[in-house]
Amino acid sequence: MSSTIANWRASHVPGLWPVLMGPSTLVAVGPSISADLTALWEKVLQSASMADLVTVLAAIGPAQSPDLVALFWSDQGMRSLVRGSVQLLDPTTAEVLADGSGVLTWREVGLSDRELIEIDLGAGPVGTRGLPLVVGAVRAGAVRLEAGAAASVISAQALTVEQPSSTEAMGGSPPVASDFPESSDVDPESPLPGGLTRRTSPPSPPDPDPARIEMENADTELMGSPEPQSSAEQPATFEGDVDQPHESSRPLVQAAICLSGHANPPHASECGLCGAPVPPQTTQLVPRPVLGVLRSPDGVAIDIAGPVLLGRAPVPRDDLSEAPELMRVPSPGQDISRTHLLVSPDDWEIRLTDLHSTNGTNIVRPGPGVERLRLQPGEPHAVDVGTVIELGDGVAVLVDGPPRPAS
């Protein structure tokens, strides 16, 4: 027996805007939003009416996302909320159906007579470029929605979802894609401030055996993190073993899978791990990959698999959505605050937040020359792999690339 899994059809083209999609709800927020998008997506899914959706969106103020669009489909037709630099268009005539310009809260527009709508998020018309989107979250530059009785998404697979796979029936876990984001364009030979060095080992080929990958991850977990060494015992280098938190505890993100089975951001066309093509596909939810590694000059290395608190004596915080790792760094002159900086993954981005430290935080972006930027206290700032974090007292921490599987 077939089952309806969505009340409308959507297609999108890649872009920067987080778009959260449910069977009859859609929310798009500005690219700079710092909210927990996984938690927000779950609330969008649970919204059974436009009133429920309004309650969810009331928590997202203009300061968090000055641009916002929300759509809800029911038997009575479609309703919309818009604010900021977003427009809803009729893709056949380019007529503007709703415009959020100059709106501080949002403008509500009923679209009960419309069955074809396009959300312009800066990437131009969807046209024939669009990839299907049913339920999930992507970063998009435009979205087209087709509503009405004929637009429902129906699948015969609905009844097979609860049937365990042969692997699960034997007590095991099904193989999953390896955890690696798209590669950065950092030149491994470029110098780093303070005489620090970057890991330059060549990439290893992907391991085609999922069972072997799981065994290696388990071995790494049993070994644990290395004991910190003083700078007098070890030269100022970013080499070091890395603790591998288990992926099952990580939030889910939308990913595109390359031909070798590695997870990549939805908009990637080439795998950041092995260079294999990432073919056009419907994205899938996977445990959030390790996005990078923090490496301190005294040899300590911590995966960016969840939030990490840095400081001369960091203490946990209970206002984070995940339990943080703690990275203690030396500070002979006590220029570095006890809990100085938060490093946290957000979808496929690495964000740094200076926690109102006494002497502040500077970063040096990767690339030729030295481009130094001072973080604004309390404001998350997205950075690339290869960024150097200057905390004070001459201490710098490298945002290195994610660990690669053993050959």
Output the DSSP codes for 277-345.
B--S---EEEEPPP--EEE-TBS-EEE-SS-EEEESS----SSSSSPPEEEE---TT--S-SS-EEEEE
Residue 191 domain flag: yes
pLDDT tens by residue, 228-253:
443 333 333 333 334 444 555 678 88
Percent of the chain at pLDDT above 90?
Answer: 21
Same domain, 151 and 205: no
Residue corresponding to tokens 């009575």: 76
Is the same domain home to 215 and 297? yes
User: Do 308 and 393 belong together in one domain?
Assistant: yes
- Token pair listed for 221: 């977990």
Q: How many CB atoms neighbour CB 379 within 10 A?
A: 12
Region label for 124, one of left (φ > 0), alpha (ψ between -120 and 50) or beta (otherwise): left
The total of other beta-carbon atoms located within 10 Å of residue 25's CB is 26
Mean of pLDDT values over 361-381: 89
Q: Does 109 share its domain with 36?
A: yes
Chain CA centroid to CA 402, Å = 14
Same domain, 203 and 133: no
293-327: b or e for each residue (b if 16 or more CB lie within 10 Å)?
bbbbbbbbbbbbbbbbbbbbebeeeeeeebebbeb
For residue 356, is it within any domain?
A: yes
User: Which residues fall within 8 angstroms of residue 193, CB to CB, at 6 or more apart?
Assistant: 364, 370, 388, 390, 396
- Asked if residue 347 belongs to a domain, the reply is yes
Neighbours of 399 (CB within 10 A): 25
Kind and range of the H or E element at 15?
strand 9-21
174 compared with 360, residue with greater pLDDT: 360
**Domain final position from 101, 136, 155:** 155
Q: Are strands 395-400 and 293-295 parallel, antiparallel or unpaired?
A: antiparallel
pLDDT at 310: 96
pLDDT attached to residue 43: 87
Same domain, 212 and 361: yes
Take residue 192 and report the two structure tokens written for it.
């780093």
- pLDDT on residue 155: 58
Domain hosting residue 54, numbered range? 3-155
Q: Is residue 230 part of a domain?
A: yes
Burial zone of 199 (CB within 10 Å; 0-12 exposed, 13-18 middle, 19+ buried): middle
Answer yes or no: do 138 and 200 share one domain: no
Q: Summarize the confidence of residues 60-73 as an average pLDDT.
A: 84
Q: Are residues 86 and 198 in the same domain?
A: no
Residues 376 and 297 in one domain: yes
pLDDT band at 390 (very low <50, low <70, confident <90, very high): very high
The model's pLDDT over 291-328, given as tens digits with 9 standing for 90+, comes to 999 998 888 999 999 999 999 999 988 888 888 999 99
Q: Provide the number of structural domains found in the chain.
A: 2
Residues 28 and 147 grouped into a single domain: yes
- Domain membership flag for residue 256: no
Residue 102 burial (10 A CB sphere; 0-12, 13-18, 19+): exposed
Q: 149 or 264: whose pLDDT is higher? A: 264
Q: In what order do the strands lie in the sheet with 308-311?
A: 325-328, 308-311, 341-346, 349-354, 381-383
Cα–Cα distance between 385 and 327 in angstroms, integer? 18
Tell me, yes or no, whether 161 lies in a domain: no
The H-or-E segment that residue 155 falls in is strand 153-155
Best mean pLDDT range from 92-101, 155-164, 238-247: 92-101
Number of H helices, E strands in the chain: 4, 27
Give domain status of residue 72, yes or no. Answer: yes
Per the listing, tokens 């959300």 go with 119
Sequence letter at residue 273: L
Q: Is residue 213 part of a domain?
A: yes
Question: Within this chain, do residues 213 and 70 fall inside the same structural domain, yes or no?
Answer: no
Decide if 111 contacts 79 (C-beta within 8 A): yes
The domain spanning residue 242 has which CATH number?
2.60.200.20
In angstroms, the Cα distances linking 116 to 13, 25, 127 are: 16, 15, 12
Is 141 found in the same domain as 192? no
